[in-house]
A and B are shown apart, each in its own frame.
Chain A
Amino acid sequence: NAGVTQTPKFQVLKTGQSMTLQCAQDMNHNSMYWYRQDPGMGLRLIYYSASEGTTDKGEVPNGYNVSRLNKREFSLRLESAAPSQTSVYFCASSENPGWFGTEAFFGQGTRLTVV
């Protein structure tokens, strides 16, 4: 049971380059999330998708775009990378939040450095 799979695990970009972080889950979850984690900041929500075809902005969406390709896959795109986007990125999935007992499952993370 793979759970949530993220690729790549590590990436170094030059300022201005673009890239897409891929995420796929095999748990038939409705909700998927992208977070970034920076020292001292905790997990901050970038974008959220309640279901295929729907996305919502989170706390820190600027500089990012997302695509919920189907129920399994939720990708995060950096169109023009900036050093401020150096971070660890986590994808997560869950049943719809608010249902009692639901929990979130995380991918292993992508460590991105923008130079």
Chain B
Amino acid sequence: RKEVEQDPGPFNVPEGATVAFNCTYSNSASQSFFWYRQDCRKEPKLLMSVYSSGNEDGRFTAQLNRASQYISLLIRDSKLSDSATYLCVVTHLQGGADGLTFGKGTHLIIQP
């Protein structure tokens, strides 16, 4: 049973384009949602939290759809520096050993 699923890609996108990808989760008790960014051979770092009302941070917009159990990330005016792997992270009310669940990531390549 896969709790958090992402399209692994790679998504090859020309610079300046808009790209979006989703992450689906199976546990309806999931409480908090995040997008993390991981550069090659580096640690994951928080990109943004995902709130029920949706949130925007510059060129990045994250949305949550609880009814359909997915979160999305939209990147506008993509830059070469946006090339990375984007991890979806879901936390559960129960906490415990699986309190944080990671998707396997979506690989994004921005091409000049």
Interface residues of A (CB under 8 A from B): 31, 33, 35, 40-43, 45, 47-48, 50, 56-59, 88, 90, 92, 94, 96-109, 111
Chain B binding surface, main DSSP class: loop
Q: Answer whether A98 and B102 are a contact pair too, CB < 8 Å, given A106-B44, A107-B43, A108-B43.
A: no
Interface residues of B (CB under 8 A from A): 8, 31-32, 34, 41-46, 49, 87, 89, 91-100, 102-105
In the bound complex, residues from chain A placing their C-beta under 8 Å from that of B45 are 106
Residue in contact with A43 in the complex, picked from B31, B44, B96, CB distance below 8 Å: B44
Are A102 and B91 neighbours in the complex by a CB distance under 8 Å?
A: yes
Are A106 and B32 neighbours in the complex by a CB distance under 8 Å?
A: no
In the bound complex, residues from chain B placing their C-beta under 8 Å from that of A107 are 43
Complex CA gap A105/B87 in Å reads: 14
Are A104 and B104 neighbours in the complex by a CB distance under 8 Å?
A: no
A–B Cβ pairs within 8 angstroms, 26 of them: A33-B100, A42-B87, A45-B97, A45-B98, A45-B100, A48-B96, A58-B97, A90-B43, A90-B44, A96-B95, A97-B32, A97-B92, A97-B95, A97-B96, A97-B99, A98-B32, A98-B91, A98-B92, A98-B93, A98-B95, A99-B32, A101-B49, A103-B34, A106-B43, A106-B44, A109-B41
